[in-house]
Amino acid sequence: MKELTRPERLAPGARVAVVATSGPVPEERLQAGLDVLRGWDLDPVAAPHVLDRHAEFGYLAGTDADRAADLQNAWCDPSVDAVLCARGGYGAQRMIDLLDWEAMRAAGPKVFAGFSDTTVLHEAFATRLGLATLYGPMAAGIDFIKNARAQDHLRATLLAPETVRTIASGGTALVPGRARGITLGGCLALLAAERGAPHARPSAAGGLLCLEDVGERTYRLDRYLTQLLRAGWLEGVRGVLLGSWEDCSDHAGIRPLLADRLGGLGVPVVEEFGFGHCAGALTIPFGVAAELDADTVTLTLDEPALR
């Protein structure tokens, strides 16, 4: 696994496009998120279909074609410096193959940020564009709007990435040790769903794998992890960082499962690392070289997330 191209950091006045790639976006939360970005001296612009709702499937923010067009047009607009997802939910899988990846590659690197359902987009940006991305709070998310830690860490990552090269969460070591690799990952259910999809990453070998999820029963988490193990996708992984399991079964029940499914990999594993669907979620760069120290529960990037 190779380190990916890091986009340039944002500067005051940078234009940031906010797009809805998945579920419908509440207007009041979108406006609050845009206000936060303006408070950072950025120039946010909402994509044309960001407030759309699908006429038949209410869990989608407009049609697949419109969501794809918003993302592609924002990415290919030379005046846009970064693309932030408005929220997760479901829908990115439905529109990802409608994107013109050649045109997006020609547009050059820029910042992409989001989490949850956008896991499939993080994977696609890595495999199709060779681009590092940011797995972190979204512009219309409650955590982004109301939580100072989530705001501050994303802001520092975007504007002063050298100040957050070491990410410390206060979690614990499930398996001790230190490891080096390239960061990747996201929402466990989406990573499992990618197996067999076109252009899917063939393996997590050489990676520091970040995993989290929301609203899943323990047996379903077991199913996803077992699928990745049976597919050989986890062979050669260097280390594992476990984020939040919000609205899943209680952690006392999940912890033995994580130890059972991941302990046999023979690599350092840290838990409760503070990213994903939790209050004050940290921003984790994907596609960058880093060192995981499970004993101090820190992730140290070789270089800042953005140039």
Residue 274, SS3 per DSSP: coil
The active-site residue, picked from 116, 122, 216, 271, is 116
- Tell me, what amino acid is at 101? W
- Which of 49, 54, 122, 277 is catalytic? The answer is 277
* Dihedral, 173, 166, 121, 29 alpha carbons, nearest 10: 100
Say which of 212, 216, 271, 272 is annotated catalytic: 212
DSSP, collapsed to helix, strand or coil, labels residue 131 as strand
Site of tokens 């001790």: 176
DSSP 204: -
> How would you class 2 by CB atoms within 10 Å of its CB: exposed for 0-12, middle for 13-18, buried for 19 or more?
exposed
- Measured in degrees and rounded to the nearest 5, phi and psi for residue 240 equal -135, 135
| 3 part of the active site | no
3-state SS class at 26? coil
Q: Is 169 a catalytic residue?
A: no
- What is the Cα–Cα distance from 18 to 47, expressed in whole angstroms? 6
CB count, 10 Å around CB of 156? 15
Respond yes or no: is residue 116 known to be catalytic: yes
Catalytic positions, written as ranges: 116, 212, 277
